[in-house]
Amino acid sequence: MGFLLLSLVLSSFLITAASILNSPPPLPCNYTAIYNFGDSNSDTGGIAAAFYPPLLPFGETFFHRPAGRASDGRLIIDFIAEKLGLPYLSPYLDSIASNFRRGANFATGGATIQRPNSSWFVDGLSPFNLEIQVEHFNQLKGRSAYYYNQSGKDNDEIVKRLSNPEDLGRALFILDIGQNDIAAAAATLTRPAAVAGIVDQFIHQIGILYGLGATTFWIHSTGPFGCLPAVISKSKNADDEDEYGCVRSLNRIAMEFNRELKSRIGELRTRLPRAAVVYVDMYAAKYGLISDAAAQGFEDGRVICCGYHGMSYDIWCGKNGALENGTNVYADSCKNPRRVISWDGVHYTEAANRWFADRIADGSLSDPPVALATACHMHATPITN
């Protein structure tokens, strides 16, 4: 009797395993649009449209002109759009030749999750924090619905540049924000409470997007803040640096934020039954390249392509300034950005952004481990295309 039961169990297991192995891979989601929320890591021109645009050498590698991006070329969000067969995202704040048919980018350089308590003119913080970015999406959705409902001869040209609000359930929502909040949390004495408060606001805004019709979320963790060359240049304690020069104490804050975010996302899935919420470990991707730079064809992660940073000075890309010894210099770009990880000490080169995008797209750094192209299939309640 025991042998018969064991045989039945084994047979059932083999049948189940065979069905899993022989089951076809999930079909691509065929996203109708991408809506992106974030800071300068994914800003395709929002803060440039709102304030002052960057000048050359920004954009020199791919666009051959400044294109509103804090890089020499494309960002991770650009490569994601390419992989999904969608156009580069128009910034919501840019009124010139913008097209929102296949999505919109609400990210702005200097943006935070929490409301800023300073200004762009004082310390570079964007007035368009995550809360405002989500409100901008709400406004775009409302105005799009109005023009679709009024569609006719007079509105045809407008509607052509707007995404159908009824397709929101098939759009991809990407959030890549938190680095500027981490920088602020590093200076506070109540760091654990500060990190928890930041994540609370992050989760709250995801819930608002869900209520507005978003169902597929691709959420990036924050990167190794302590590995940014501009940050390393201000380090006063060599014992606080790891073997790659990264500041351990600052990276620990980033990891605290990521652990809290991942935990809260796990809880969020139970509250949003129709949502696919994917956590993407951008920290692992970025630290992975920095720690293996030579083997991947890059120079040391502390090398900066455009700009100079030291203990008492910062000469940003495209600017003039004086070094610590008083020498006046112009911060021009390096000869070969394709071999450098850091563009300006804070942001990454196009080459590094491509490397990151390639590493996250297959889902190997995601929780759950699902590829970008098929992330919509993680819904608790399936969504049909």
Q: Which residues are catalytic?
A: 40, 344, 347
Q: Are 176 and 42 in contact (CB under 8 A)?
A: yes
Question: Residue 278's closest CA among 320, 334, 219?
Answer: 219
Q: How far apart are CA 127 and CA 109, in angstroms?
A: 10
What residues contact 4, with CB distance under 8 A and at least 6 apart? none
Long-range contacts of 94-101 (CB under 8 A, 24+ apart): 94/45, 94/46, 94/48, 94/49, 94/68, 95/49, 96/49, 98/161, 99/161, 100/140, 100/144, 100/161, 100/162, 100/163, 101/33, 101/160, 101/161, 101/162, 101/163
The structure tokens listed for 205 are 């805004």
- Around 64, how many Cα atoms within 13 Å sit in the side-chain half-sphere? 0
Give the 3-state secondary structure of residue 352: helix
Burial (Cβ within 10 Å: 0-12, 13-18, ≥19) of residue 184: middle
The structure tokens listed for 115 are 């409301």
Query: CA 20, 25, 29: angle at the middle one, nearest 5?
Result: 140
Q: Are 301 and 227 in contact (CB under 8 A)?
A: yes
Pairing of strands 307-309, 328-330: unpaired
Burial (Cβ within 10 Å: 0-12, 13-18, ≥19) of residue 1: exposed
Element (H, E) at 133: helix 130-149
**How many residues can be counted in the chain?**
385
